[in-house]
Amino acid sequence: MNQYETRELCNAFFDAYENGRLDVLERVLADDCIISHNVFGRETTKQDNLTKYPDSYVGQRRRTYNDRIVNTFDDGFVIQYTLNGVQYTLNGVMHTGHKGALWICIVARCRDGRITRIDEYMDSSKFAAWTGPPRRAADGGPR
């Protein structure tokens, strides 16, 4: 893969995440792709991620991957970006409109037009600010 193909793959991956295109994610991730998170200290599989994708969006109205800085190397890329999200309550009525942002860096390895490994680096101490104040159910109780 040349650097242009690698950049295209990188943006296709993030656009798909942004737009909920599981079909594209299925295509751009190699079947044996491994995803590693510095926060959890463990690796997950492609299938783990595709299965849990809907859960990761719970409580979020919108999620965008902005300020993308992409650099490519022989067999992969590094992308630095700002993950912006707008949260909403699960009952779909009391939208808090809270906006949160995380600064994240991903290093990915690629082969034959697909991503074979993702290492994600973020700061878990920002999670509370990212999700905002606790959501409340329609009856005012905690959720």
Partner 1 sequence: MTSADTEHRRLCHTLFDAIEQGDIAAVETCYAPEMTMWFNVSGQTTTREQNLAALVAGKELHRRRTYNDRVIHTFEDGFVAQYSLNVVARDGTKVTLWACLVGEVHDGRIVKLMEYLDAGKFKPPRGKAAAT
Binding site for partner 1 (CB under 8 A): 38-42, 71-74, 76, 78, 80, 103-105, 107, 119, 121-125, 127
Q: Closer CB to partner 1, residue 18 or residue 119?
A: 119
Write the single-letter amino acid at 26: E
Q: How far is the CB of 73 from partner 1 (least distance, A)?
A: 4
Q: Closer CB to partner 1, residue 79 or residue 88?
A: 79
Q: Give the Cα separation of 35 and 50 in Å (integer).
A: 11
Q: Give the Cα separation of 22 and 16 in Å (integer).
A: 7
Write the single-letter amino acid at 102: L
Q: How far is the CB of 42 from partner 1 (least distance, A)?
A: 6
Question: What is the sign, positive or negative, of the torsion defined by CA atoms of 40, 134, 20, 107?
Answer: negative
Residue 113 phi/psi, 5-degree rounding, is: 80, 10
Q: How far is the CB of 20 from partner 1 (least distance, A)?
A: 25
Q: How far is the CB of 22 from partner 1 (least distance, A)?
A: 25
Q: Closer CB to partner 1, residue 26 or residue 75?
A: 75
The number of beta carbons lying within 10 Å of the beta carbon of residue 104 is 17
Q: Give the Cα separation of 51 and 18 in Å (integer).
A: 16
Q: Closer CB to partner 1, residue 2 or residue 125?
A: 125
